Structure 1
Protein backbone atom coordinates (compact mmCIF):
# COMPACT_ATOMS: atom_id res chain seq x y z
CA UNK A 1 0.00 0.00 0.00
CA UNK A 2 1.57 3.29 -1.06
CA UNK A 3 0.83 6.93 -0.50
CA UNK A 4 2.22 9.44 -3.03
CA UNK A 5 2.94 11.90 -0.22
CA UNK A 6 5.28 9.51 1.59
CA UNK A 7 8.50 10.20 -0.33
CA UNK A 8 7.93 13.65 -1.68
CA UNK A 9 6.38 16.99 -0.84
CA UNK A 10 7.33 19.81 1.55
CA UNK A 11 9.29 19.16 4.71
CA UNK A 12 7.11 17.88 7.52
CA UNK A 13 7.26 19.02 11.11
CA UNK A 14 7.92 15.99 13.27
CA UNK A 15 7.00 15.51 16.92
CA UNK A 16 8.46 12.70 18.99
CA UNK A 17 5.78 10.55 20.60
CA UNK A 18 6.44 9.63 24.23
CA UNK A 19 5.90 6.18 25.66
CA UNK A 20 7.55 4.40 22.73
CA UNK A 21 9.72 2.22 24.96
CA UNK A 22 13.03 1.45 23.25
CA UNK A 23 11.87 2.62 19.79
CA UNK A 24 11.96 6.26 18.68
CA UNK A 25 8.60 7.08 17.15
CA UNK A 26 7.65 10.43 15.61
CA UNK A 27 4.45 11.92 14.28
CA UNK A 28 4.52 13.73 10.94
CA UNK A 29 1.14 15.14 10.05
CA UNK A 30 -1.39 12.33 9.86
CA UNK A 31 1.32 9.66 9.90
CA UNK A 32 3.69 7.97 12.33
CA UNK A 33 7.29 7.14 11.39
CA UNK A 34 9.14 4.22 13.00
CA UNK A 35 12.46 2.46 12.28
CA UNK A 36 12.28 -0.40 9.80
CA UNK A 37 13.26 -3.73 11.35
CA UNK A 38 13.91 -7.15 9.79
CA UNK A 39 10.36 -8.22 10.74
CA UNK A 40 8.67 -5.08 9.35
CA UNK A 41 7.65 -6.77 6.06
CA UNK A 42 5.70 -9.42 8.00
CA UNK A 43 4.03 -6.72 10.10
CA UNK A 44 3.03 -4.88 6.92
CA UNK A 45 1.47 -8.05 5.52
CA UNK A 46 -0.51 -8.27 8.77
CA UNK A 47 -1.64 -4.64 8.59
CA UNK A 48 -2.67 -5.01 4.94
CA UNK A 49 -4.60 -8.15 5.84
CA UNK A 50 -6.41 -6.35 8.68
CA UNK A 51 -7.33 -3.50 6.32
CA UNK A 52 -8.78 -5.94 3.78
CA UNK A 53 -10.76 -7.67 6.53
CA UNK A 54 -12.23 -4.33 7.59
CA UNK A 55 -10.69 -4.34 11.06
CA UNK A 56 -10.86 -0.66 12.08
CA UNK A 57 -8.55 -0.74 15.08
CA UNK A 58 -5.11 -0.88 13.42
CA UNK A 59 -3.15 1.70 11.43
CA UNK A 60 -2.67 1.26 7.72
CA UNK A 61 0.88 1.14 6.38
CA UNK A 62 2.24 3.20 3.48
CA UNK A 63 5.67 1.72 2.90
CA UNK A 64 8.82 3.62 3.89
CA UNK A 65 9.85 7.26 3.70
CA UNK A 66 13.01 8.96 2.42
CA UNK A 67 14.74 8.12 5.72
CA UNK A 68 13.82 4.43 5.39
CA UNK A 69 11.30 4.59 8.22
CA UNK A 70 8.00 2.79 8.00
CA UNK A 71 5.00 5.08 7.52
CA UNK A 72 1.77 4.32 9.37
CA UNK A 73 -1.51 6.04 10.08
CA UNK A 74 -1.58 8.16 13.20
CA UNK A 75 -4.48 6.96 15.36
CA UNK A 76 -5.81 9.95 17.33
CA UNK A 77 -6.70 9.47 20.97
CA UNK A 78 -5.11 8.73 24.33
CA UNK A 79 -2.45 6.03 24.54
CA UNK A 80 -2.53 4.30 27.93
CA UNK A 81 0.92 5.22 29.17
CA UNK A 82 1.74 4.92 32.86
CA UNK A 83 0.57 6.26 35.22
CA UNK A 84 -2.80 5.28 33.81
CA UNK A 85 -5.47 7.96 33.64
CA UNK A 86 -8.85 7.36 35.34
CA UNK A 87 -10.38 6.83 31.89
CA UNK A 88 -7.94 4.05 31.00
CA UNK A 89 -8.46 2.43 34.41
CA UNK A 90 -12.24 2.38 33.93
CA UNK A 91 -14.33 -0.72 33.34
CA UNK A 92 -15.39 0.75 30.00
CA UNK A 93 -11.76 0.76 28.88
CA UNK A 94 -11.31 -2.77 30.22
CA UNK A 95 -14.32 -4.24 28.43
CA UNK A 96 -13.73 -2.45 25.12
CA UNK A 97 -10.06 -3.49 25.14
CA UNK A 98 -11.14 -7.12 25.51
CA UNK A 99 -13.57 -6.79 22.60
CA UNK A 100 -10.87 -5.10 20.51
CA UNK A 101 -8.48 -7.97 21.18
CA UNK A 102 -11.13 -10.54 20.23
CA UNK A 103 -11.87 -8.73 16.98
CA UNK A 104 -8.16 -8.53 16.19
CA UNK A 105 -7.63 -12.23 16.87
CA UNK A 106 -10.64 -13.30 14.84
CA UNK A 107 -9.48 -11.16 11.92
CA UNK A 108 -6.06 -12.88 11.86
CA UNK A 109 -6.98 -16.56 12.16
CA UNK A 110 -6.72 -17.24 8.43
CA UNK A 111 -3.39 -15.41 8.12
CA UNK A 112 -1.81 -17.28 11.04
CA UNK A 113 -2.00 -20.54 9.13
CA UNK A 114 0.00 -19.29 6.15
CA UNK A 115 2.35 -16.55 7.42
CA UNK A 116 4.50 -18.50 9.86
CA UNK A 117 7.91 -16.94 9.13
CA UNK A 118 9.44 -13.47 9.05
CA UNK A 119 8.40 -12.36 12.54
CA UNK A 120 10.75 -11.12 15.25
CA UNK A 121 10.00 -14.24 17.32
CA UNK A 122 9.20 -17.79 16.15
CA UNK A 123 5.61 -18.94 15.97
CA UNK A 124 4.07 -20.60 19.01
CA UNK A 125 1.92 -23.69 18.89
CA UNK A 126 -0.95 -23.96 18.43
CA UNK A 127 -0.80 -21.10 15.93
CA UNK A 128 -4.50 -20.29 16.11
CA UNK A 129 -4.25 -16.54 15.49
CA UNK A 130 -1.67 -13.80 15.08
CA UNK A 131 -0.86 -12.70 18.62
CA UNK A 132 -0.06 -9.04 19.18
CA UNK A 133 2.53 -10.06 21.77
CA UNK A 134 2.32 -6.91 23.88
CA UNK A 135 -1.38 -6.12 24.24
CA UNK A 136 -1.42 -3.59 27.07
CA UNK A 137 -2.81 -0.11 27.77
CA UNK A 138 0.39 1.49 26.43
CA UNK A 139 -0.23 -0.15 23.06
CA UNK A 140 -3.92 0.73 22.87
CA UNK A 141 -5.56 3.98 21.78
CA UNK A 142 -8.57 5.20 23.77
CA UNK A 143 -11.22 7.78 22.92
CA UNK A 144 -13.80 8.81 25.50
CA UNK A 145 -12.57 5.98 27.67
CA UNK A 146 -13.12 3.32 24.99
CA UNK A 147 -10.35 1.25 23.42
CA UNK A 148 -10.56 1.91 19.68
CA UNK A 149 -7.11 1.01 18.35
CA UNK A 150 -4.02 -1.09 18.86
CA UNK A 151 -0.50 -0.09 17.83
CA UNK A 152 3.11 -1.41 17.81
CA UNK A 153 3.07 -4.87 16.24
CA UNK A 154 6.82 -5.53 16.58
CA UNK A 155 6.22 -8.58 18.82
CA UNK A 156 3.41 -10.05 16.70
CA UNK A 157 3.62 -13.72 15.75
CA UNK A 158 1.35 -16.72 15.21
CA UNK A 159 0.33 -18.40 18.45
CA UNK A 160 -2.49 -19.41 20.80
CA UNK A 161 -5.02 -16.89 22.04
CA UNK A 162 -3.96 -17.37 25.66
CA UNK A 163 -0.51 -15.89 24.87
CA UNK A 164 -2.17 -12.48 24.45
CA UNK A 165 -4.95 -13.06 26.99
CA UNK A 166 -2.56 -13.85 29.83
CA UNK A 167 -0.48 -10.71 29.28
CA UNK A 168 -3.61 -8.60 28.81
CA UNK A 169 -4.91 -9.84 32.18
CA UNK A 170 -1.61 -8.92 33.77
CA UNK A 171 -1.80 -5.38 32.39
CA UNK A 172 -5.52 -4.63 32.44
CA UNK A 173 -6.86 -6.42 35.55
CA UNK A 174 -4.05 -5.76 36.56
CA UNK A 175 -2.68 -8.91 38.25
CA UNK A 176 0.07 -7.04 40.10
CA UNK A 177 1.61 -7.14 43.55
CA UNK A 178 0.76 -4.15 45.82
CA UNK A 179 4.40 -3.01 45.52
CA UNK A 180 3.96 -2.42 41.77
CA UNK A 181 3.13 1.27 41.39
CA UNK A 182 1.66 0.66 37.92
CA UNK A 183 -0.97 -1.62 39.41
CA UNK A 184 -4.09 -0.92 41.44
CA UNK A 185 -6.79 -2.74 43.38
CA UNK A 186 -6.56 -5.62 45.82
CA UNK A 187 -6.68 -9.25 44.72
CA UNK A 188 -10.51 -9.61 44.83
CA UNK A 189 -10.88 -6.42 42.76
CA UNK A 190 -8.29 -7.70 40.29
CA UNK A 191 -10.15 -11.02 40.05
CA UNK A 192 -13.38 -9.20 39.24
CA UNK A 193 -11.71 -7.15 36.51
CA UNK A 194 -10.02 -10.25 35.10
CA UNK A 195 -13.36 -12.02 34.82
CA UNK A 196 -14.92 -8.95 33.18
CA UNK A 197 -12.12 -8.88 30.61
CA UNK A 198 -12.37 -12.56 29.76
CA UNK A 199 -16.18 -12.49 29.59
CA UNK A 200 -16.06 -9.44 27.28
CA UNK A 201 -13.58 -11.32 25.06
CA UNK A 202 -16.04 -14.21 24.94
CA UNK A 203 -13.91 -16.88 26.62
CA UNK A 204 -15.24 -20.30 27.50
CA UNK A 205 -14.55 -21.68 30.99
CA UNK A 206 -11.52 -23.70 29.77
CA UNK A 207 -10.16 -20.59 28.00
CA UNK A 208 -10.54 -18.54 31.18
CA UNK A 209 -8.69 -21.16 33.18
CA UNK A 210 -5.91 -21.40 30.61
CA UNK A 211 -5.46 -17.62 30.39
CA UNK A 212 -5.11 -17.17 34.15
CA UNK A 213 -2.88 -20.21 34.57
CA UNK A 214 -0.55 -18.92 31.82
CA UNK A 215 0.24 -15.58 33.49
CA UNK A 216 3.24 -16.72 35.61
CA UNK A 217 4.91 -18.52 32.69
CA UNK A 218 4.24 -15.54 30.42
CA UNK A 219 6.02 -13.19 32.83
CA UNK A 220 8.90 -15.58 33.46
CA UNK A 221 9.49 -15.81 29.73
CA UNK A 222 9.55 -12.03 29.58
CA UNK A 223 12.20 -11.91 32.32
CA UNK A 224 14.27 -14.55 30.51
CA UNK A 225 14.06 -12.56 27.28
CA UNK A 226 15.19 -9.39 29.07
CA UNK A 227 18.26 -11.11 30.49
CA UNK A 228 19.14 -12.76 27.19
CA UNK A 229 18.83 -9.44 25.36
CA UNK A 230 20.98 -7.69 27.98
CA UNK A 231 23.61 -10.43 27.72
CA UNK A 232 23.72 -9.87 23.96
CA UNK A 233 24.59 -6.24 24.60
CA UNK A 234 21.18 -4.56 24.48
CA UNK A 235 21.73 -1.47 26.62
CA UNK A 236 18.01 -0.71 27.00
CA UNK A 237 17.21 -4.06 28.57
CA UNK A 238 20.37 -3.93 30.68
CA UNK A 239 19.16 -0.60 32.04
CA UNK A 240 15.67 -1.96 32.67
CA UNK A 241 17.12 -4.84 34.69
CA UNK A 242 19.33 -2.44 36.62
CA UNK A 243 16.27 -0.32 37.38
CA UNK A 244 14.54 -3.35 38.86
CA UNK A 245 11.98 -4.18 36.16
CA UNK A 246 12.82 -7.89 36.09
CA UNK A 247 12.54 -8.13 39.87
CA UNK A 248 9.18 -6.34 39.69
CA UNK A 249 7.84 -8.92 37.22
CA UNK A 250 8.98 -11.76 39.48
CA UNK A 251 7.23 -10.20 42.48
CA UNK A 252 4.10 -10.04 40.35
CA UNK A 253 4.56 -13.73 39.50
CA UNK A 254 4.62 -14.47 43.24
CA UNK A 255 1.43 -12.41 43.67
CA UNK A 256 -0.37 -14.35 40.94
CA UNK A 257 0.72 -17.71 42.32
CA UNK A 258 -0.11 -16.72 45.90
CA UNK A 259 -3.72 -16.05 44.91
CA UNK A 260 -4.15 -19.04 42.59
CA UNK A 261 -7.20 -20.32 44.49
CA UNK A 262 -8.89 -16.93 44.23
CA UNK A 263 -8.38 -16.76 40.46
CA UNK A 264 -9.76 -20.27 40.15
CA UNK A 265 -12.92 -19.49 42.11
CA UNK A 266 -13.71 -16.06 40.71
CA UNK A 267 -12.17 -16.08 37.25
CA UNK A 268 -11.79 -19.59 35.90
CA UNK A 269 -14.86 -21.38 37.27
Structure 2
Protein backbone atom coordinates (compact mmCIF):
# COMPACT_ATOMS: atom_id res chain seq x y z
CA UNK A 1 0.00 0.00 0.00
CA UNK A 2 1.29 3.46 -0.80
CA UNK A 3 1.20 5.96 2.06
CA UNK A 4 1.55 9.71 1.90
CA UNK A 5 4.60 11.30 3.52
CA UNK A 6 3.79 11.91 7.19
CA UNK A 7 3.55 15.52 8.31
CA UNK A 8 5.46 16.87 11.30
CA UNK A 9 4.16 15.52 14.60
CA UNK A 10 4.84 18.83 16.35
CA UNK A 11 1.80 21.02 16.88
CA UNK A 12 3.40 23.88 15.00
CA UNK A 13 0.83 26.63 14.48
CA UNK A 14 1.18 29.69 12.35
CA UNK A 15 2.59 28.03 9.25
CA UNK A 16 0.62 27.23 6.14
CA UNK A 17 -0.88 23.75 6.49
CA UNK A 18 -0.08 21.08 3.94
CA UNK A 19 -3.15 19.83 2.14
CA UNK A 20 -3.85 16.20 1.39
CA UNK A 21 -2.88 15.19 -2.15
CA UNK A 22 -5.83 15.81 -4.44
CA UNK A 23 -5.95 12.15 -5.47
CA UNK A 24 -6.43 11.14 -1.84
CA UNK A 25 -8.85 13.88 -0.69
CA UNK A 26 -11.79 12.25 1.08
CA UNK A 27 -10.80 8.83 -0.18
CA UNK A 28 -9.08 5.63 0.80
CA UNK A 29 -8.48 1.96 0.16
CA UNK A 30 -10.26 -1.07 1.57
CA UNK A 31 -13.01 -1.09 4.19
CA UNK A 32 -11.54 1.46 6.60
CA UNK A 33 -14.11 4.08 7.60
CA UNK A 34 -13.77 7.30 9.60
CA UNK A 35 -16.93 7.71 11.64
CA UNK A 36 -16.39 11.04 13.40
CA UNK A 37 -14.29 13.02 15.84
CA UNK A 38 -14.55 14.71 19.23
CA UNK A 39 -12.48 17.77 20.15
CA UNK A 40 -11.97 18.84 23.78
CA UNK A 41 -14.94 16.72 24.91
CA UNK A 42 -17.22 18.75 22.67
CA UNK A 43 -16.33 22.15 24.12
CA UNK A 44 -14.65 25.15 22.52
CA UNK A 45 -10.90 25.46 23.06
CA UNK A 46 -10.41 28.65 25.11
CA UNK A 47 -6.93 30.17 25.46
CA UNK A 48 -5.84 33.16 27.54
CA UNK A 49 -2.62 35.15 27.39
CA UNK A 50 -0.27 33.27 29.72
CA UNK A 51 -0.76 29.51 29.88
CA UNK A 52 -0.74 26.85 27.19
CA UNK A 53 -3.96 24.93 26.64
CA UNK A 54 -3.82 21.15 26.10
CA UNK A 55 -6.79 19.24 24.73
CA UNK A 56 -7.59 15.87 23.20
CA UNK A 57 -8.84 15.10 19.71
CA UNK A 58 -10.33 11.62 19.33
CA UNK A 59 -10.86 10.08 15.90
CA UNK A 60 -13.49 7.35 15.66
CA UNK A 61 -12.94 4.82 12.88
CA UNK A 62 -13.50 1.20 11.82
CA UNK A 63 -11.68 -1.54 9.96
CA UNK A 64 -12.41 -5.26 10.12
CA UNK A 65 -8.76 -5.95 11.02
CA UNK A 66 -8.51 -3.12 13.52
CA UNK A 67 -6.82 0.27 13.47
CA UNK A 68 -3.08 1.01 13.46
CA UNK A 69 -2.56 4.79 13.54
CA UNK A 70 -4.03 8.18 12.76
CA UNK A 71 -2.31 11.24 11.32
CA UNK A 72 -4.59 14.16 12.20
CA UNK A 73 -4.48 17.80 11.15
CA UNK A 74 -6.24 20.85 12.59
CA UNK A 75 -6.64 23.80 10.23
CA UNK A 76 -8.07 27.21 11.08
CA UNK A 77 -8.20 30.85 10.00
CA UNK A 78 -5.08 33.00 9.78
CA UNK A 79 -3.01 30.03 8.50
CA UNK A 80 -3.64 28.21 11.78
CA UNK A 81 -2.32 24.68 11.57
CA UNK A 82 -1.43 21.75 13.84
CA UNK A 83 -0.61 18.10 13.20
CA UNK A 84 -0.04 14.95 15.25
CA UNK A 85 0.42 11.25 14.56
CA UNK A 86 -0.55 8.62 17.10
CA UNK A 87 -1.07 4.89 17.38
CA UNK A 88 -4.68 3.90 17.97
CA UNK A 89 -5.46 2.70 21.49
CA UNK A 90 -8.35 0.47 20.43
CA UNK A 91 -10.13 -0.95 17.36
CA UNK A 92 -12.37 2.12 17.22
CA UNK A 93 -10.52 5.14 18.66
CA UNK A 94 -7.32 7.10 18.08
CA UNK A 95 -6.68 9.93 20.56
CA UNK A 96 -4.29 12.83 20.04
CA UNK A 97 -3.12 15.42 22.55
CA UNK A 98 -2.61 18.93 21.17
CA UNK A 99 -1.21 21.98 22.98
CA UNK A 100 -1.71 25.61 21.90
CA UNK A 101 0.60 28.13 23.56
CA UNK A 102 -0.61 31.72 23.09
CA UNK A 103 2.93 33.10 23.35
CA UNK A 104 4.37 30.72 20.76
CA UNK A 105 1.66 29.40 18.47
CA UNK A 106 -1.19 31.91 18.20
CA UNK A 107 -2.18 35.34 16.97
CA UNK A 108 -5.61 36.96 17.01
CA UNK A 109 -6.36 36.04 13.38
CA UNK A 110 -6.45 32.34 14.35
CA UNK A 111 -9.54 32.64 16.56
CA UNK A 112 -12.67 31.12 15.03
CA UNK A 113 -13.71 27.87 13.38
CA UNK A 114 -11.12 25.11 12.92
CA UNK A 115 -11.52 21.87 10.94
CA UNK A 116 -10.35 18.35 11.75
CA UNK A 117 -8.93 16.07 9.05
CA UNK A 118 -7.31 12.67 9.48
CA UNK A 119 -5.54 9.87 7.64
CA UNK A 120 -6.26 6.55 9.40
CA UNK A 121 -4.23 3.40 8.69
CA UNK A 122 -5.56 -0.06 9.50
CA UNK A 123 -3.59 -3.17 10.48
CA UNK A 124 -4.26 -4.77 7.07
CA UNK A 125 -2.82 -1.78 5.14
CA UNK A 126 -6.24 -0.35 4.35
CA UNK A 127 -6.55 3.39 4.93
CA UNK A 128 -8.95 6.30 4.81
CA UNK A 129 -8.48 10.09 4.53
CA UNK A 130 -11.18 12.67 5.29
CA UNK A 131 -10.36 16.38 5.11
CA UNK A 132 -13.23 17.71 7.23
CA UNK A 133 -14.46 15.18 9.74
CA UNK A 134 -15.56 17.76 12.29
CA UNK A 135 -15.06 21.38 13.36
CA UNK A 136 -14.53 23.24 16.63
CA UNK A 137 -14.10 26.80 17.86
CA UNK A 138 -10.79 28.20 19.07
CA UNK A 139 -11.63 31.20 21.27
CA UNK A 140 -9.90 34.06 23.02
CA UNK A 141 -10.58 33.99 26.77
CA UNK A 142 -12.68 36.78 28.29
CA UNK A 143 -12.99 38.50 31.67
CA UNK A 144 -16.03 40.25 33.11
CA UNK A 145 -16.54 42.26 36.33
CA UNK A 146 -19.57 43.58 38.23
CA UNK A 147 -19.95 46.37 40.76
CA UNK A 148 -23.26 47.63 42.15
CA UNK A 149 -23.50 50.83 44.20
CA UNK A 150 -24.36 52.33 46.58
CA UNK A 151 -24.14 49.55 49.14
CA UNK A 152 -26.35 49.41 51.10
CA UNK A 153 -29.10 51.14 49.17
CA UNK A 154 -32.47 52.51 50.25
CA UNK A 155 -35.46 50.56 48.95
CA UNK A 156 -36.92 51.91 45.69
CA UNK A 157 -33.88 54.13 45.15
CA UNK A 158 -31.58 53.97 42.12
CA UNK A 159 -28.84 51.37 42.01
CA UNK A 160 -26.01 51.78 39.51
CA UNK A 161 -24.45 48.58 38.13
CA UNK A 162 -21.16 48.79 36.25
CA UNK A 163 -18.66 46.33 34.81
CA UNK A 164 -15.99 45.77 32.20
CA UNK A 165 -15.79 43.10 29.50
CA UNK A 166 -12.31 42.29 28.18
CA UNK A 167 -10.81 39.59 26.00
CA UNK A 168 -7.35 38.13 25.53
CA UNK A 169 -5.09 39.38 22.79
CA UNK A 170 -2.66 36.81 21.37
CA UNK A 171 -0.78 39.66 19.70
CA UNK A 172 0.44 41.51 22.81
CA UNK A 173 -0.57 39.09 25.63
CA UNK A 174 -2.85 41.62 27.34
CA UNK A 175 -6.61 41.81 27.94
CA UNK A 176 -8.38 44.64 26.09
CA UNK A 177 -11.89 46.04 26.32
CA UNK A 178 -14.39 44.31 24.04
CA UNK A 179 -16.72 46.97 22.65
CA UNK A 180 -20.21 46.87 21.10
CA UNK A 181 -21.11 43.53 22.69
CA UNK A 182 -24.53 42.70 24.21
CA UNK A 183 -24.25 41.68 27.87
CA UNK A 184 -27.14 40.64 30.11
CA UNK A 185 -27.64 42.16 33.56
CA UNK A 186 -29.03 39.46 35.84
CA UNK A 187 -30.46 39.46 39.38
CA UNK A 188 -31.03 36.74 41.97
CA UNK A 189 -33.19 37.62 44.96
CA UNK A 190 -31.83 36.62 48.36
CA UNK A 191 -33.11 33.19 49.38
CA UNK A 192 -33.64 32.00 45.79
CA UNK A 193 -31.43 30.01 43.42
CA UNK A 194 -32.34 31.37 39.99
CA UNK A 195 -31.02 34.42 38.15
CA UNK A 196 -33.35 36.39 35.90
CA UNK A 197 -32.31 38.77 33.14
CA UNK A 198 -33.28 42.35 33.91
CA UNK A 199 -31.98 44.03 30.75
CA UNK A 200 -29.32 43.82 28.05
CA UNK A 201 -26.64 46.51 27.74
CA UNK A 202 -24.04 46.95 24.99
CA UNK A 203 -20.44 47.50 26.02
CA UNK A 204 -18.99 50.92 25.36
CA UNK A 205 -15.48 52.31 25.15
CA UNK A 206 -12.93 49.98 26.72
CA UNK A 207 -15.62 47.32 27.18
CA UNK A 208 -17.38 49.39 29.86
CA UNK A 209 -20.87 48.52 31.09
CA UNK A 210 -23.14 50.87 33.02
CA UNK A 211 -26.85 50.96 33.75
CA UNK A 212 -29.31 51.88 36.52
CA UNK A 213 -32.10 49.87 38.12
CA UNK A 214 -34.53 50.35 40.97
CA UNK A 215 -33.51 48.58 44.18
CA UNK A 216 -36.49 46.61 45.49
CA UNK A 217 -35.02 43.62 47.37
CA UNK A 218 -31.81 42.19 48.79
CA UNK A 219 -29.96 40.11 46.26
CA UNK A 220 -27.12 39.41 43.87
CA UNK A 221 -26.30 41.28 40.67
CA UNK A 222 -24.10 39.99 37.85
CA UNK A 223 -23.31 40.45 34.17
CA UNK A 224 -23.56 37.53 31.71
CA UNK A 225 -21.84 37.50 28.29
CA UNK A 226 -22.92 34.79 25.83
CA UNK A 227 -19.66 34.87 23.87
CA UNK A 228 -19.01 35.06 20.11
CA UNK A 229 -17.47 32.80 17.49
CA UNK A 230 -14.01 34.10 18.48
CA UNK A 231 -14.43 34.93 22.19
CA UNK A 232 -15.46 32.78 25.14
CA UNK A 233 -18.64 33.23 27.15
CA UNK A 234 -18.24 34.68 30.63
CA UNK A 235 -20.34 35.22 33.74
CA UNK A 236 -19.02 37.69 36.30
CA UNK A 237 -18.77 37.12 40.02
CA UNK A 238 -21.98 38.41 41.60
CA UNK A 239 -22.18 41.51 43.81
CA UNK A 240 -24.56 41.30 46.78
CA UNK A 241 -26.57 44.42 47.62
CA UNK A 242 -28.36 44.99 50.93
CA UNK A 243 -31.61 46.93 50.39
CA UNK A 244 -32.86 48.82 53.47
TM-score range with shorter-chain normalisation? under 0.3
TM-score, length basis structure 1: 0.24
Greater RCO, CA 8 A, separation 6+ = 2
Pair member with larger Rg:
2
Give the structure with the higher percent strand: 2
Query: Quick check: which one's helix share is greater?
Result: 1
